[in-house]
């Protein structure tokens, strides 16, 4: 380093000592950038005013349209930093719409896009400001301001609900989750119905969701499934639909997709079986029942069920009848490739998505309206779908 400085000195070049400058360099650069951007904005507005009037300041022009009327202060948040006290020209007659920013705009579009991306990635409306503080300083945006930005998602939500669907799904998993939403009188629990799909190429997707007004009834599920059907999901390639134990979904699937086999969730069914057992035999009986879905084949599972039923038919007749009534719907997953058994024998694959929904909505005791609920559900589903885009499941289906 010394030799470089000596060579510069010999050639009469000024030697600049950089020690201590590096720490302030980027701070100075950012400040100068903000100043330059402020000048550029003010110059752009002055040119636009000059074009409107037809002459520069202090010039006489008989055909002028109006006169200048001073300035008003304006602030703007940009990706380069916060610009305060921008001198916005005023005119005596008429209103000016400047090209550099919209009327009443307080942030540039890239800042709004940044806020929207943070919301989609899971940052709550109250924490957005604390995330932006190191970049732009305190008081960048209020929670109400974040809510206004997120309302721009409404159009994307509508497009998500109305987009054309490809009929290339092998498996569907359907379930619902309950969340609190305010109405004009009191808060009400609303059921969010959702359908998760696995395509013929192994790609996973949360296909759509629907806010059911009356819970998981057959009518609500039929309305939701028919919407998917008429948007393109006719079920021509469907092999199996995984569902919970609700009668409404079962009957709705039989109506909309009558040719598709249904797989009843083992986790839901074993909870129903456990509710019919005495506490002192509950654990042993359920552990034996789990051996049924852990069998190596369909025939082995049927044999294991028969052994289980024979063993417990006297000690727990109601539990045996509960499992026997729907045993064939519980074993349909054995007809699919071995690699999919763990994923298809329960609704856990969609429950994991609901776990993320609960994590995001836990701080929100009650949503203000249905639109705010739909926005956050869409944001979560959008994020999950994006994370699965390049991670297909390995499925080898035999025909």
How do the pLDDT tens digits run along the chain, 399 residues long?
556 556 655 565 555 555 555 555 555 666 777 778 778 887 888 888 877 776 777 667 666 777 777 777 877 777 777 777 788 787 777 677 777 777 766 777 777 777 777 777 767 777 777 777 766 666 667 777 777 777 778 888 999 999 999 999 999 999 999 887 876 656 677 889 999 999 999 999 999 999 988 788 999 999 999 999 999 999 999 999 999 988 999 999 999 999 999 999 999 999 999 999 999 999 999 999 999 999 999 999 999 999 999 999 999 999 999 999 999 999 999 999 998 999 999 999 999 999 988 888 777 766 777 888 888 899 889 989 999 988 888 776 554
Domain range enclosing 57: 1-106
In terms of domains, do 88 and 213 share one?
no
In terms of domains, do 52 and 184 share one?
no
In terms of domains, do 256 and 362 share one?
yes
How many CA atoms does the CB half-sphere of 49 hold within 13 Å? 22
Decide if 85 is inside a domain. yes
What is residue 137's predicted lDDT score, i.e. its pLDDT? 64
Decide if 161 is inside a domain. no
Decide if 213 is inside a domain. yes
Contact 312, 283 (CB under 8 A): no
In terms of domains, do 295 and 192 share one?
yes
Paired residues of 189 in beta bridges:
180
Q: How far, in Å, CA of 320 to CA of 324, rounded? A: 6
In terms of domains, do 63 and 178 share one?
no
Q: What is the pTM (predicted TM-score) of this model?
A: 0.74
In terms of domains, do 12 and 88 share one?
yes
Last residue of a domain, one of 78, 106, 134: 106
In terms of domains, do 227 and 336 share one?
yes
Decide if 136 is inside a domain. no
By C-alpha distance, which of 208, 121, 116 is closest to 383? 121
What is residue 228's predicted lDDT score, i.e. its pLDDT? 96
Q: How many domains does the chain have?
A: 2
Decide if 115 is inside a domain. no
In terms of domains, do 102 and 171 share one?
no
Decide if 384 is inside a domain. no
In terms of domains, do 232 and 323 share one?
yes
Last residue of a domain, one of 106, 126, 157: 106
Contact 76, 106 (CB under 8 A): yes
Decide if 385 is inside a domain. no
| Residues ≥6 apart with Cβ < 8 Å to 305 | 292, 323, 327
In terms of domains, do 102 and 177 share one?
no
Decide if 127 is inside a domain. no
In terms of domains, do 174 and 74 share one?
no
Q: How far, in Å, CA of 149 to CA of 113, rounded? A: 9
In terms of domains, do 363 and 280 share one?
yes
Last residue of a domain, one of 106, 126, 150: 106
């Amino acid at each position: 380093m010394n030799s470089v400085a000596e060579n510069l000195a010999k050639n009469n070049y000024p030697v600049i000592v950089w020690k201590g400058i590096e720490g302030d360099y980027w701070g100075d650069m950012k400040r100068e950038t903000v100043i330059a951007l402020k000048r550029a904005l003010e110059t752009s507005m002055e040119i636009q005013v000059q074009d409107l009037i037809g002459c520069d300041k202090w010039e006489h022009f008989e055909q002028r349209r109006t006169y200048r009327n001073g300035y008003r202060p304006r602030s703007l948040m940009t990706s380069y930093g916060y610009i305060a006290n921008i001198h916005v020209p005023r005119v005596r007659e008429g209103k000016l719409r400047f090209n550099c920013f919209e009327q009443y705009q307080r942030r540039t579009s890239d800042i709004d896009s940044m806020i929207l991306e943070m919301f989609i990635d899971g940052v709550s409306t109250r924490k957005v400001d604390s995330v932006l503080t190191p970049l732009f300083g305190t008081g960048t945006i209020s929670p109400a301001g974040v809510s206004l930005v997120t309302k721009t998602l409404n159009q994307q939500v509508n497009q998500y609900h109305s987009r054309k669907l490809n009929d290339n799904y092998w498996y569907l998993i359907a379930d619902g989750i309950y969340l609190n939403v305010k109405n004009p009188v009191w808060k009400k629990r609303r059921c969010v119905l959702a359908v998760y799909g696995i395509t013929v190429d192994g790609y996973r997707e949360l296909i759509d969701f629907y806010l059911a007004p009356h819970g998981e009834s057959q009518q609500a599920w039929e309305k939701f499934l028919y919407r998917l059907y008429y948007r393109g999901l006719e079920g021509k390639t469907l092999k199996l639909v995984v569902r919970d134990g609700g009668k409404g979904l079962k009957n709705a699937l039989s109506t909309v997709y009558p040719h598709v086999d249904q797989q009843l969730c083992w986790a839901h069914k074993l909870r129903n079986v456990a509710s019919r057992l005495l506490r002192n035999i509950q654990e042993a009986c359920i552990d034996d029942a789990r051996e049924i879905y852990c069998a190596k084949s369909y025939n082995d599972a049927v044999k294991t069920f028969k052994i289980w039923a024979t063993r417990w038919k006297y000690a727990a007749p109601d539990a045996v009848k509960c499992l026997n009534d729907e045993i064939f719907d519980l074993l349909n997953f054995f007809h699919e490739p071995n690699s999919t058994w763990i994923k298809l024998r329960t609704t856990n694959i969609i429950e994991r998505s609901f776990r993320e929904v609960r994590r995001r909505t836990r701080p929100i005791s009650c949503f203000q309206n249905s639109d705010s609920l739909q926005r956050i559900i869409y944001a979560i589903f959008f994020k999950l779908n994006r994370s699965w885009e390049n991670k297909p499941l390995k499925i080898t289906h035999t025909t």
